[in-house]
Amino acid sequence: MPEKKPCGICRRWFKPDPRAGKRQRVCSAAACQSERPRRNAAAWREQNAQQPRNLAHIHAASRTLAAHERHRPLPRS
């Protein structure tokens, strides 16, 4: 059975869910659960800072889709 450990966000001690075991890093508090993905995304962006953040290709694709929307087949009933 996993021992208690401190939450990575609020630092309160919690007992990890037995199914997650040692992998669980934050407690089940709603505030901690909503903060966890935000911190994970920030860490990913920092580690992958060299990735181009050029949104021009996204805008071009959306313009192309909008221009060709009339050529899409109608949904089947």
What's the CA gap between 37 and 21, in Å, rounded?
19
pLDDT for the residue 54:
61
pLDDT for the residue 52:
63
pLDDT for the residue 66:
75
pLDDT for the residue 53:
64
- Two structure tokens written together for 20: 């997650």
pLDDT tens digits along 8-54: 999 999 999 999 988 999 999 999 999 999 999 999 888 887 766 66
- Enumerate the H helices of 1-77 as residue ranges: 30-47, 56-67
Rounded average pLDDT over 60-68: 74
pLDDT for the residue 27:
95
pLDDT for the residue 60:
76
